[in-house]
Amino acid sequence: MLAITEITPWHYAGFVLVILFFLALDLGVFHREARVVRFKEALGWTAVWFTLSMCFSGIVYHMRGKEEALQYVTGYIIELSLSMDNVFVIALIFAYFRVPLQYQHRVLFWGIIGALLMRGVMIGVGAALIKTFAWMLYVFGAFLVFTGIKMMFGDDDGVEPEKNPVIRLARKLYPVSKEFDGQKFITTLDGKKMLTPLALVLLMVETTDLIFAVDSIPAIFAITDRPFIVFTSNVFAILGLRSLYFVLADAIGMFRYLKVGLSIVLVFIGVKMLVDPHANPEPAWYQKDIPTNLSLIIIAGIILLSVILSMVASRSEKGKDAKEDEKKDDGAGKS
């Protein structure tokens, strides 16, 4: 049996330093100049980040054992799945502001830096709340059930920057230029410092991630209350978000049932939190612990099924459109 390694601040510091090294390599070497990220490159980076995240699960297994390694993988799958919905919202933001393709990576890079900082704070606060008030798991569970149902039946209002309080505040405090200035967030016009539209895009991306984090971070606490597992799985999922965006952004229509799958996942996780005995040490007839490996299978199965159904529906729709075009061509030929 492997000896359990106690997690210390040095483990957090070492992990953060490694992540900062990769980020510096990304921005300083691979993407020093603004350029368009092609599909094959994005797919390759997606594979790299996924491989690194799975290799880290081996480190967790060596340090903390099989159960926490499973918790890490399950948390990673949850965060990555919920990030897919975030990808589509970011695509709408870029389309709304008409952000040139070559500047999108820079926005995502700094957006992810901000997301890591915000999520680190939220995870710390969440872990402290659960440690102090175990019943907070019930609150998180009820919130996730409510959010899942709302996601399933709610309407998508799209991107509305004029309703975003952060964007409105930024426009009140600082002048905003009408045109982009390359990949700069701040420009100078007539000797006056101004925000560029790219800065507003970055603020939109940050606030969007904050909204998604309110759902995703309580979700992973249903799997584990270990802050190190929650933090590292979040970080790897967020780091893969940039490349995942460039892989999926042009295929939004192919994932029409993904939102339904994600909503079911949120409801399942919420119910798990409500019936999990770890929320209350006192025995109760309604409490039933759902094993981590079973949770992983159920969550991965729901996401995979929603993706498969989406692709089948998309292919069927394309087939119908092709047949209708053929009928139109035949009718035009006969006339």
Percentage of the chain exceeding pLDDT 90: 6
- The predicted model gives 17-27 an average pLDDT of 80
- Tell me the pLDDT band of 252, cut-offs 50, 70 and 90: low
Return the pLDDT at 281. 46
- The predicted model gives 59-82 an average pLDDT of 89
pLDDT at 54 over 90: yes
| 19 class by beta-carbon count within 10 Å (0-12 exposed, 13-18 middle, 19+ buried) | middle
- Tell me the pLDDT band of 326, cut-offs 50, 70 and 90: low
Return the pLDDT at 72. 92
- The predicted model gives 289-315 an average pLDDT of 82
pLDDT at 135 over 50: yes
Q: In whole angstroms, how far apart are CA 181 and each of 28, 107, 185, 188, 231?
A: 20, 13, 8, 9, 35
CA atoms within 13 A on the CB side of 139: 8
Would you list the DSSP string of 200-250?
Answer: HHHHHHHHHHHHHHHHHHHHHTTT---HHHHHHHHHHHHHTHHHHHHHHGG
Q: In whole angstroms, how far apart are CA 172 and each of 100, 164, 189, 195, 210?
A: 25, 13, 18, 11, 22
Return the pLDDT at 275. 78
pLDDT at 310 over 90: no
Q: What is the pLDDT of residues 101-115, one digit of tens each?
A: 888 888 888 888 888
Q: Give me the torsion for CA of 234, 239, 243, 245, rounded to 10°.
A: 50
- Tell me the pLDDT band of 287, cut-offs 50, 70 and 90: very low
Return the pLDDT at 55. 93
- The predicted model gives 283-307 an average pLDDT of 73
- Closest CA relative to residue 244, chosen from 54, 97, 89, 122: 89
Q: In whole angstroms, how far apart are CA 224 and each of 8, 183, 185?
A: 18, 40, 38
Q: What is the pTM of this model?
A: 0.79
pLDDT at 246 over 50: yes
- The predicted model gives 331-335 an average pLDDT of 56
- Closest CA relative to residue 238, chosen from 15, 102, 101, 53: 53
Number of H helices, E strands in the chain: 11, 2
Percentage of the chain exceeding pLDDT 70: 83
Return the pLDDT at 268. 87
Return the pLDDT at 143. 86
> How much is the mean pLDDT over the chain?
80
Query: Quick check: helix, strand or coil at residue 176?
Result: strand
Question: Among the listed ranges 166-175, 250-259, 288-297, which one has the minimum average pLDDT value?
Answer: 250-259
- The predicted model gives 40-67 an average pLDDT of 88
Amino acid at 74: T
pLDDT at 1 over 60: no
Contacts of 89 (CB under 8 A, 6+ apart): 159, 208, 212
- The predicted model gives 190-218 an average pLDDT of 85
pLDDT at 30 over 70: no
